[in-house]
Each structure stands twice: as structure tokens, then as C-alpha cells.
Structure 1
Amino acid sequence: MQRANHSTVTQFILAGFSAFPHLQLMLFLLFLLMYLFTLLGNLLIMAAIWSERSLHTPMYLFLCTLSVSEILYTVAIIPRMLADLLSTQRSIAFLACASQMFFSFSFGFTHSFLLTVMGYDRYVAICHPLRYNVLMSPRGCTCLVGCSWAGGSVMGMVVTSAIFHLTFCGPNEIHHFACHVPPLLKLACGDDVLVVAKGVGLVCITALLGCFLLILLSYAFIVATILKIPSAEGQNKAFSTCASHLTVVVVHYGFASVIYLKPKGPQSLEGDTLMGITYTVLTPFLSPIIFSLRNKELKVAMKKTFFSKFYPEKNVMI
């Protein structure tokens, strides 16, 4: 990031939702409620897994780690976005912008890597149940989680270093509510902007596509194994352990594909902003809902945890 010192721009202006001046208060209240629900949902999932000993298994360890990455991802972006909705001063320092990009990409890619690990966990549980305790040992699970976090950090550093290695000569208004790559590239000057843009896009798409293909491969083996189970009840029971993860994968990669695979061409501020909401606010909001509703064991544990906190005098039997 040495060349950042040669940029004439020392701070950026986040345009945010300036295209919707009459809706900003309503958007603030809506996004605040969704953000608080996202935090509460993920914290409740973590508390339930922590307090319920029957959930101290690799699958729920990964889910707990996924909740942590989701909380950190939203913290990196949403509080700043909410503050800007109520402010007329939307400037962000050069270093703060770089930091936001690093943390958002790090936690975002960590989330993708953890979803891939969870797919592998379901593959081992269904296709190789007798070897599950060996393949998913505490040491192995710790290694998978550590690699996911390390991989996310590497991705964040690569993308952030590439973008902020460029020179920014002005103007300095980012047509987005966060320090996002495409609007920042539009502000950069120099002969290497196109090369960096293609390189960053290739790295991001390769990582996401690689994760998605590994998940698809896991589920191809899972489906083949489930179809061999003779009873319909056994098939439903096996598939129910994958339902919440598979639904979150579809939502996560569905919205990611809208961002990374959208047709090239001139984009309006309104279009970019609204598309940004899907993966910044909506996906984290939906994730705890999906896991809590589609996973019976987790749903029961969350009810126990909730009632034990607010009604400790009652022995709730669920």
C-alpha cells in the first residue's frame, strides 16, 4: 500500500442513500431493527449452543463460528451506514475506508469458507458416519475453523492492498454506503486500474466459485447416499440435518451472484445501493431465521435458553 501516500485524496464521501432523501429516516429505522434482530438472533444461537451440552458437536461448533463471523461482518459496515443515514457529514478517512474494506472482505470470505466446511461436515456425517469421529475430531475441526479465518484474512488483505495501492486523484465521492470495490475503482486514476479491477474480480469470483463447487460436490455425494436409504423416513431424517445449511447456501450465493455476476455496464446510484443492501443487511438478517426455524434441535435449545433467562422459576419442558 505504499502508493497510497501519493494520492491527493485524504478522505472519501459516502453518497449512501442520498438518492432517497425523503426515505432516510424510514430506512434508518428499518435497517436498525433488522441489524438488532441479526445481532440478537446470532447471539441467541451462540448462547443456545454454549449452554446445551447435546449441541457440543462439530456441526454446531461451525454454526457458532458462522454466527461470530456474521456479527463481525455486520459490525464492520452497518453501524457506519446507520450513522450516515442521520448525518449530513458522510466523510470517511482514507485509512478508515481501507480498514472497513479489509474487515468486511475478511469476515465475508470467512463466512463463505465456513459454509464450505459445514458442507464437508454434512458429507462426512451422512456418507461416512463410522469415520465421523475420526475425520471430524476436535483437532481437525479446530484446524478447519482456523483455516477458514486465515483464508478470509488473506482474501481481505489481498483485495484491500490491491485497491488502496492505486492512486486516487479526485473526485472523492463513493457512490455507495460503504467502501466497496467497484465505486472505489471508478475514483482511481492511473494506467493499472483496469489490471487491478480484473485481478480483484478474478480472485473474488474464483474463491466464491471454488467454495460453491465444493459445496455442490458435497451435496452430490450426500444426495446419492440418501437415495440409497430404503425407508422414506430415513431419507427425510438424513436430509433434515442439511436443510438449514443448504437454504443458507442458496441465499448466500444467490445474492453474491447478483453482485459479482451482474452484467457490465453503467449502473445508477440507486441500483448499486439497493443491490448492496441484499448482501449487507438482508442476507445476515435471514441467516439466523433460517437456522433457528429449519433446525429442530437448535430451535428447542434456543427456546430452553430463552425461557431459562426470562422465567428461571419455571422448569420449561419443550
Structure 2
Amino acid sequence: MLNRVGEKEVLSLPYIQNLSLKNCWFSPHIFTEFIKELKESELQCLTLDSVSLTAFIRPGAHPAPLTTNPWNHQNNLAQAMAANLGVGHPFFLPPGLNQPVLAGQLAQLPVTVNNPNAEPSWLSQPRYGSWAQVIDTLTPGNRLADFRYAGGFTEQPEPREQSGFKKLVFKSCGYVRIPFDFDQSSVTHHGLNHRGSVPAAVTKRINDHENMMMKSGDSLLGSITNSMSDREMNTLKEAWNMNFGWDSPQQMTEAKHDGIVHAGIGRFNGSLEALAQPPDTDLTDL
């Protein structure tokens, strides 16, 4: 589901109480509106298994498909490397880095002031369209505003609307790139440089079997990006106790055989449930 015009429902499931979505992607605003409508009906439990979000697409915009789709060739070396796309930093020169420095001139460093009562960075407003922002909007449990209030950083937030939505489960969720021409840098350029070189034996095997492997012709096939910003990862961990990576050694081995050296990075797991009690108030030492 990429985009839509107007306010028509994406999909109406008014009587569904338990819903599972598997191996699919959504644009953030489509996903948010879809789940909001389900929450207003009978939805009680939502399970997201290998569900990914795209970069934010402006409502009403219609990005054109790319003329060439490097993500459709799943079983060659290009696709194997594409699975690690964006996990490193883009080349970037900070302003003034290439300017000559006068002899004997000392750089002035900013003074660092530690405020023990400062609001933790993971409580800051998340990037719009990020998983942190989507979860903060949809969670049946505590929101970031609840944690800010519990830590004494803000006033008491407005009460949420009552619903029967009780549980939200995540299994290997993260971000995806899609073969459309729009800015997708927000889901690909964050984090440390986790890219690794594909072993020569794996490269040879992929190339040897290239002509025999089936290839998808789906123009909407996405490519998982093994990346997420450190700030967002901290928010998901600290606020909602999400954990990252894959626990299955077999999955990791199979991915490495396909040329994906660092599979599972940027994919998170966990669950959120409606709680009767307020969040822990001891946040100032985080």
C-alpha cells in the first residue's frame, strides 16, 4: 500500500478481533490510518511478522517507478548486496573541513554541561513516519508523553481514547526500500557501518546459479534495509523494551549463504500490552 487520495478506507475489517500481517510493507501514513480504523472497530490483538515501513511519502504524492529495478533480481550478487544497502554512512564533508587551518591556531571545543535532570534523548519527538512515531501513535500501552510526564519533564498528557485494542506484537520488523523515485534516505543512511564483504565462495556460488534461479517480476517488490538510527533504536529499547536482531542461528546461516553478511540488523521484536498502571517514574538517571 503506497498512497491514496481522499479519505476513503484502505480496507474495512469491522469485525476482526485478532489480525496477523506477514511479510509485507506499508507507507507510514497508510499503515497508521489503517490500524486506527481497526482500533475503532473490534480489533484486540495485532501481530506484525516481518512487516516493514517505507520512507515517508507525502499524502497525495505519486512517486514514479524507477526505470530499472535492481531489487527485483533476488538471487544474484547485486540483490545480495542490496540487502545491506544503506547500512553505512554516506560520504559527507562537514562544513569547513577542507578549509586551510592557520598555523598555530587551536580549534575551540564546545563546553559540555551535564544536566542530570535533562530529558533523555530517547524521549524526544520521533521522526515523522518512523516506527517510533507510529508505535507512539498506535500503542495500547504507554506513550512517550506518558513517560515524559512520569519523569517530570512535561505536564500530564491528554487521556487517550478508549478502545478494545489490547496487544501489539512485533516479529522482525523494520524498514524497506521500494523501487520508486522519491527520497528514501531516512531509512537507509543511519547507524554504524555494518556492511561486510561477501565471501568469495558465496559470490561464486551466486554467480554460478544466477541463470537457474527464479526471479520476481513484481514492480512493487521491496528490499529490506538493515539499518536504523541509534536514537530510534534507543527509543524502541528504552520506552517499549524492543530487542534487535535474529535469534535463530539457522536464519543467520541461510542469510550468509545468500550473501547477506549482517542480516537482522535494524529488525526489532517485542510486544506491547494495555497496562492499568502508569510508567515507572525513575527516568532521570537514564
TM-score tier by shorter-chain length is under 0.3
When normalised by structure 1's length, the TM-score is 0.24
User: Which is richer in strand?
Assistant: 2
User: Which is richer in helix?
Assistant: 1
When normalised by structure 2's length, the TM-score is 0.25
